[in-house]
DNA sequence: AGTGGAAATGAAAACGGTTGTCACTTTCTC
DNA sequence: GAGAAAGTGACAACCGTTTTCATTTCCACT
């Protein structure tokens, strides 16, 4: 594990939100860390391959990375300010498994994101 | 509705699978249809904004488009062959509304995608 | 310690899907 | 029909990501 990869992992550990490679690169640099953008991409790729981080495609095509949390959960995101709440619920999990099983699908995974306007922003 | 947009919609109607803008452009051209790639993108964008087509980000970052039925629904997608089943379920809808309301969020929307290996592909 | 091969690094260039530009054409409205 | 509004498309720009390749770092084994 090189200095740079360790730095990327540590940076990821600071926040539980999904963040882009470029954002992580910028933070590392502004913290005085000497690292190249290419290396950040490679580190994230390697961590994703090893199952240590989740990768998500945002709507604008940018990839977002997050350290894998042990418990499975979803996100409630404010459209205006971006505030994110981590949520979980048996109901969705069961529904996803059932609907997939009903159609003969195996190895089921799912993505669920809920969007809205948070209390602060609607005030 | 221009000739080109009509052509894009008709092309989408030919198949129920998700297809990329470039693929639709290529099909239209090889069928002798005079249309520009930019226009195909704009037509798909307009159809998506109007809720007539679903947009999906594939893992490689390319956007995929498909005509969709007008009622709210979600997708069950085969990881291997891309086969897609439209599914719906009260359970998810209720869960999304509840979890958002519990955190004071309003104007709730959500995205739900279920992935797995379809029966054909696991055989 | 010393050595050699494998792996990692990073600046720069290339890549590829998508979007912006702008002169031009088509369509709509009166 | 005339003028306004919307749409078109070749081309260039954009931007996140990947490839390249010369250089550096790491590491297993003396
Ligand atoms: Mn879940
Ligand atoms: Mn659909
Ligand atoms: Zn907010
Ligand atoms: Zn399949």
Tell me the pLDDT tens digit for each residue of A23-79: 999 999 999 999 999 999 999 999 998 878 888 888 788 999 988 766 778 888 777
Strands A106-117 and A74-78: parallel
Which CATH number belongs to the domain containing residue B40 in this structure? 1.10.10.10
pLDDT band at A80 (very low <50, low <70, confident <90, very high): low
Same-domain check for residues A58 and A8? yes
Which of B42, B67, B92 terminates a domain? The answer is B67
Which of A28, A44, A67 terminates a domain? The answer is A67
- Contact criterion met (CB < 8 Å) for B110 and A115: yes
Q: How far off is chain A from B123, nearest CA to CA, in Å? A: 11
pLDDT band at A113 (very low <50, low <70, confident <90, very high): confident
Question: How much is the pLDDT for B70?
Answer: 60
pLDDT band at A14 (very low <50, low <70, confident <90, very high): very high
Same-domain check for residues A85 and A111? yes
Question: How much is the pLDDT for A6?
Answer: 95
Which residues 90-109 on chain B approach chain A with CB closer than 8 angstroms? 91-92, 94-96, 99-100, 103-109
Same-domain check for residues A56 and A85? no
Percent of chain A past pLDDT 70, that is, above it, reads 95
pLDDT band at A82 (very low <50, low <70, confident <90, very high): low
Which residues 50-89 on chain A approach chain B with CB closer than 8 angstroms? 57-59, 61, 63, 76, 78-79, 85, 87, 89
Same-domain check for residues A81 and A107? yes
Q: How far off is chain A from B32, nearest CA to CA, in Å? A: 31
Report the distance separating Cα B6 and Cα B2, nearest Å. 6
Same-domain check for residues B13 and B62? yes
Which of A67, A86, A112 terminates a domain? The answer is A67
Question: How much is the pLDDT for B20?
Answer: 96
Same-domain check for residues B79 and B61? no
Q: Is the CB of A7 under 7 A from strand D?
A: no
Å from CA of B110 to ligand 3 middle: 16
Residue A33: DSSP 8-state: -
Structure tokens at B34: 């005079």
Question: How much is the pLDDT for A70?
Answer: 60
pTM exceeds 0.85, yes or no: no
The chain B residue lying nearest A97, using CA atoms, is B114
Phi, psi angle pair for B15, to nearest 5°: -135, 150
Same-domain check for residues B57 and B79? no
Number of domains composing chain B:
2
Same-domain check for residues B18 and B55? yes
Q: Which domain holds residue A91?
A: 74-122
Question: How much is the pLDDT for A54?
Answer: 81
Asked if the model's pLDDT at residue A81 lies above 70, the reply is no
Sign, CA torsion A81/A19/A38/A7: positive
Helix axes A21-30, A3-14, angle to 10 degrees: 100
Report the distance separating Cα A61 and Cα A64, nearest Å. 9
Mean pLDDT by 10 residues, chain B (123 residues): 93 90 96 96 92 83 84 78 79 90 87 84 82
Phi, psi angle pair for B60, to nearest 5°: -85, 5
Phi-psi region of B55 (alpha: psi -120 to 50; beta: other; left: phi over 0): beta
Structure tokens at B103: 């955190």
Which CATH number belongs to the domain containing residue B82 in this structure? 3.30.1490.190
Same-domain check for residues A85 and A45? no
Q: Which of A87, A88, A105, A106 is the best mutation test for B, with the most CBs of B within 10 A?
A: A105
Å from CA of A41 to ligand 1 middle: 27
- Contact criterion met (CB < 8 Å) for A87 and B99: yes
Same-domain check for residues A53 and A86? no
- Contact criterion met (CB < 8 Å) for B99 and A76: yes
Same-domain check for residues A38 and A9? yes
Same-domain check for residues A14 and A61? yes
Report the distance separating Cα A62 and Cα A60, nearest Å. 6
């Amino acid at each position: 594990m090189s200095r740079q990869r360790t730095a990327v992992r540590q940076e990821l550990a600071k926040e539980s939100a999904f963040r882009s490679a470029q954002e992580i690169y910028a933070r590392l640099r502004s913290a005085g860390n000497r690292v190249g953008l290419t290396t950040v991409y490679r580190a994230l790729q390697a961590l994703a391959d090893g199952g240590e981080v989740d990768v998500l495609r945002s709507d604008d095509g940018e990839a977002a990375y997050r350290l894998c949390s042990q418990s499975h959960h979803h996100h409630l995101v404010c459209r205006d300010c971006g505030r994110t709440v981590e949520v979980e619920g048996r109901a969705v999990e069961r529904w996803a498994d059932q609907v997939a099983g009903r159609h003969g699908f195996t190895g089921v995974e799912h993505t669920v994101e809920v969007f809205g306007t948070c209390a602060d922003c609607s005030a």
